[in-house]
Amino acid sequence: MKARVNVDERGRRTASDACLEPCSIERGMRVIGGKWTGSIIYHLKDGPVRFNDLVRMLGGASKKMIDQRLKELEARNMVTRTVISERPIAVNYALTDFGRSALKILDDLRIWSESNNIT
């Protein structure tokens, strides 16, 4: 049902049928809308990437921030973490099918942002 704004005879506004819980867009943004999250997913689109290479690709993000976002994505089953070697530890991250399903949205957002010169 679509929310509506009603105006009474005194000009006061009230909402009817307001959303009482997050809508589908808000729930989706909670998953991919965190700082650096979309960029991480986008950089994993071509296949597994080692952690330090991902840090280099993201330039402005700290290792701590990237690690935190990767853990969140892993907990949501959007990325997988594979240990390549124990000493020194080397880790690869790759998108799951669920993570890959967000790529179209992110690519559309990239195109929209570039075509409208959003800074």
Residue 74 has pLDDT above 70, yes or no: yes
Full-model pTM: 0.78
| Rounded Cα–Cα distance for residues 17 and 68 (Å) | 37
Distances (CA, A) of 57 to 19, 49, 87: 39, 10, 24
- In order of their start, the domains of the chain are 4-115 (1.10.10.10)
pLDDT digits (tens, 9 = 90+) for 4-26: 888 888 889 888 777 777 788 88
pLDDT interval class at 54 (50, 70, 90) = very high
Helices vs strands, H then E, count in the chain? 6, 5
Average pLDDT value for residue range 40-67 = 94
Average of per-residue pLDDT values in the chain: 90
Q: Angle 103-115/24-32 helices, nearest 10 degrees?
A: 90
Average pLDDT value for residue range 50-62 = 93
> How confident is the model at residue 1, as a pLDDT?
56
